[in-house]
């Protein structure tokens, strides 16, 4: 008698030491490369937000620390972003009325409100609601914002004051002051842009950091202030004692509205970059976990008077392209930036402002590519959305343009969800599939049975119109029917308004002398309907049966 073979035990296979070392080396090089982008961008975005330079640096550390501890993406770099900086500047300017101290207080309060909203969204598990802003609207907004910020940076490079915040008005002002342009500043920015473009051709080369060092050298040895080129000045990194801003109740209400818009744009931008690289590399990410991480980052940044933080696409893509394999790259970048700040802070004060403007222009230049927008021009509705979003930013300004973009997305979502579409289904080819008769006229109606399916999930805004249309179809069927099957596969759950409307629907169908079957009923929806006495009284069958099984059951019952 032969001895049966022993079962094979599968042991976890460890990565070879060389592979682990290669990954750690990749994270180290990626962290060094990204650090060269993060520090100059952090300081530059502070100027966009009209805040002291340290605000962007504090946001950088807060974002990297909190996302490194709580976030889920291997590649996301959470720090200050150009969009949040521009929105913060526009929001605080509209409320402060020229008072610089009040503007700083409002900025801190807005960052804190943003952090609280993110944490509340994570607590309520709203991470599945990822598409706050439609992608065509977001891309159009990003394009208009990039164009606006770049032209504002051009104005700062040539030292031209602008009185208005939207492109349509300040572009003529910029051109009218052509004779007063500071060409020395333009030359410094031009050289910086050329170097950034050149260094970007070499992978893992910290081009931003090298350009920053070159700018410091120019500020130290070329006496640029004598030629009208401003330096960024001293950066004070003394941490403030965490405290809540003291503001009137009305200001908190207004900041709540602006904070909601800030959360929308930051989360749409952040989750767009996080999900894009997760899809590319087959990673799994938790949107609720990322909400908590973004909330913690913004709350920590606000407590220490920093800027809003999010996962910007440009720096996240730079991190991935530099060879990052884990969140260790972000930790390395934070340590490198901390080392630079602790050892070179007095020297950083010598950086010419046109160099920082060049860093911003180079970072945002990808946003001016028409390639991502081209796909949306194929479809008429998306084409209109993109154009509206771009025009809104250019004409209305950053803040009103953002609010308009959010409003467009919300209107589109409500329009889609509140559609009163109800489909009559027919059997396709004698099989088990049931399809919309309006689109598939070759499908066969089942004699004596009317199969209906709402095109959208039932909720308070559409349920009465959808069920009203269903009753009209029942009352005007060309052939007599004995059973109505309502397929609720789109409705995983039902709110109170929907349940009340369905109770009324049960009664009306019973008055018509029809038997009613609810098919494809999800568990949570079924639990809500089981409490209705109308269902039992009117003989309604609540089931999770497929449409075909419900039809067969109805035919057997009638037979």
- The reply to whether 438 and 377 lie within a common domain is no
Give kind and range of the element (H or E) at residue 492.
Answer: none
Average pLDDT (242-252) is: 83
Residue 220 above 70 pLDDT? yes
Residue 453 CA to residue 488 CA, distance in Å, equals 7
Q: Tell me, yes or no, whether 468 and 382 share the same domain.
A: no
> How far from 443 is each of 300, 435, 446, 550, CA to CA, in Å?
60, 7, 10, 18
Let me know whether 387 and 442 are in one domain. no
User: Comparing 49-58, 180-189, 417-426, which segment has the lowest mean pLDDT?
Assistant: 417-426
Look at residue 451 and give its three-state secondary structure: strand
The dihedral of CA 433, 439, 440, 445: what is its sign? Answer: positive
User: How many separate domains does the chain show?
Assistant: 2
**Whether residues 394 and 513 fall in one domain:** no
Is the pTM for the entire model greater than 0.75?
no
Using the 3D structure, point to which of 415, 433, 454 is the last residue of a domain. 415
Same domain? For 39 and 188 the reply is yes
Q: How confident is the model at residue 14 (pLDDT cuts 50, 70, 90)?
A: very low
Domain end marker among 415, 447, 464 = 415
> Between 268 and 9, where is the model more confident?
268
173 and 154 part of one domain: yes
| 356, 149 Cβ separation under 8 angstroms | no
Q: How sure is the predictor about 367, in pLDDT bands with cuts at 50, 70 and 90?
A: low
Q: What is the pLDDT of residue 60?
A: 92
List, in order, residues 6 or more apart from 292 with CB less than 8 Å away: 70, 118, 119, 122
Same domain as 452, residue 341: no
- Over residues 204-213, the pLDDT tens digits come to 677 777 888 8
Specify whether 446 is located in the same domain as 535: yes
Q: Any idea which of 198-207, 336-345, 385-394 has the lowest mean pLDDT?
A: 198-207
CA-to-CA separations, 122 to 119, 228, 276, 361, 433, in angstroms, rounded: 5, 49, 21, 34, 39
48 & 110 share domain = yes
Domain boundary among the residues 415, 441, 463 is at 415
Q: Say how far apart CA 478 and CA 474 lie, in whole Å.
A: 10
Domain boundaries, position 364: 18-236+248-415
Over the stretch 141-171, which tens digit does the pLDDT of each residue have? 888 888 888 888 888 888 877 665 566 677 7
The per-residue pLDDT for range 489-515, each reduced to its tens digit, is 888 888 888 889 898 898 888 888 889
Return the bridge partners of 311, or none: 78
Q: Where are the beta strands (DSSP E) in 408-496?
A: 422-427, 434-436, 449-454, 483-487
98 found inside a domain? yes
List the one residue out of 385, 134, 418, 74 whose CA is nearest residue 264.
Answer: 134
- Predicted confidence band at 538 (pLDDT cuts at 50, 70, 90)? low
Q: Is 93 within the bounds of a domain?
A: yes
Which pLDDT score, from 0 to 100, does residue 53 have? Answer: 82
Q: Quick one: pLDDT band at residue 113, thresholds 50, 70, 90?
A: very high
pLDDT of amino acid 9: 43
Can you tell me the distance from the alpha carbon of 520 to that of 526, in angstroms, rounded to the nearest whole number?
A: 10
Q: Domain containing 462 — which CATH number?
A: 3.30.750.24
């Amino acid at each position: 008698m032969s001895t049966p073979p022993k079962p094979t035990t599968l042991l976890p296979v460890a990565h070879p030491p060389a592979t682990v070392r290669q990954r750690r080396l990749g994270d180290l090089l990626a962290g060094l490369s990204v650090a060269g982008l993060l520090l100059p961008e952090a300081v530059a975005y502070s100027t966009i937000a009209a805040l002291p330079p340290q605000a962007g640096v504090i946001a950088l550390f807060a974002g990297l620390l909190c996302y490194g501890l709580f976030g889920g993406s291997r590649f996301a770099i959470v720090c200050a972003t150009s969009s949040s900086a521009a929105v913060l500047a526009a929001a605080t300017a509209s409320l402060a009325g020229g008072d610089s101290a009040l503007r700083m207080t409002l900025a801190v309060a807005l960052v804190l409100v943003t952090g609280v909203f993110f944490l509340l969204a994570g607590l309520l598990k709203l991470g599945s609601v990822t598409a706050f802003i439609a992608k065509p609207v977001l891309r159009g907004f990003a394009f208009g914002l990039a164009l606006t910020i770049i032209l504002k940076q051009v104005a700062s490079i040539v030292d031209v004051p602008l009185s208005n915040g939207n492109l349509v008005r300040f572009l003529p002002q910029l051109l009218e002051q052509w004779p007063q342009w500071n060409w020395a500043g333009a030359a410094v920015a031009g050289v910086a842009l050329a170097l950034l473009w050149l260094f970007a051709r070499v992978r893992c080369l910290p081009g931003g950091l090298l350009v920053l060092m070159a700018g410091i050298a120019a500020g130290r040895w070329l006496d640029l202030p004598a030629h009208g080129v401003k330096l960024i000045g001293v950066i004070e990194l003394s941490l403030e004692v965490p405290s809540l801003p003291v503001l009137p109740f009305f200001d908190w209400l207004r900041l709540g509205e602006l904070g909601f818009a800030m959360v929308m744009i930051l989360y749409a931008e952040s989750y767009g970059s996080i999900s894009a690289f997760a899809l590319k590399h087959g990673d799994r990410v938790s949107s609720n976990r990322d909400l908590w991480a973004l909330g913690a980052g913004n709350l920590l940044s606000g407590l220490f008077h920093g800027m809003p933080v999010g996962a910007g696409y440009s720096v996240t893509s730079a991190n991935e392209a530099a060879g990052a394999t884990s969140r260790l790259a972000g930790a390395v970048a934070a340590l490198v930036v901390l080392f630079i700040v602790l050892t070179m802070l007095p020297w950083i004060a010598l950086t010419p402002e046109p160099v920082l403007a060049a860093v911003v222009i180079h970072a945002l230049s990808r946003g001016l590519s028409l390639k991502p927008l081209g796909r949306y021009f194929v479809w008429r509705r998306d084409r209109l959305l993109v154009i509206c979003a771009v025009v809104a930013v250019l004409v209305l300004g950053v803040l009103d343009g953002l609010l308009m973009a959010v409003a467009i997305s919300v209107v589109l979502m409500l329009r889609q969800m509140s559609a009163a579409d109800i489909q009559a289904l027919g059997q396709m080819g004698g099989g088990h599939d049931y399809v919309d008769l309006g689109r598939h006229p070759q499908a066969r109606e089942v004699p004596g049975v009317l199969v209906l399916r709402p095109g959208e999930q039932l909720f308070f805004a559409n349920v009465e119109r959808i069920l009203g249309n269903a009753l009209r179809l029942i009352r005007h069927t060309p052939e007599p029917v004995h059973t109505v099957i309502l397929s609720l596969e789109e409705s995983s759950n039902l709110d109170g308004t929907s349940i009340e409307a369905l109770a009324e629907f049960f009664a009306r169908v019973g008055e018509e002398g029809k038997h009613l079957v609810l098919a494809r009923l999800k568990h949570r929806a079924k639990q809500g309907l089981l409490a209705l006495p109308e269902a039992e009284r009117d003989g309604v069958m609540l089931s999770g049966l497929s449409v075909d099984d419900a039809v067969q059951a109805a035919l057997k019952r009638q037979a």
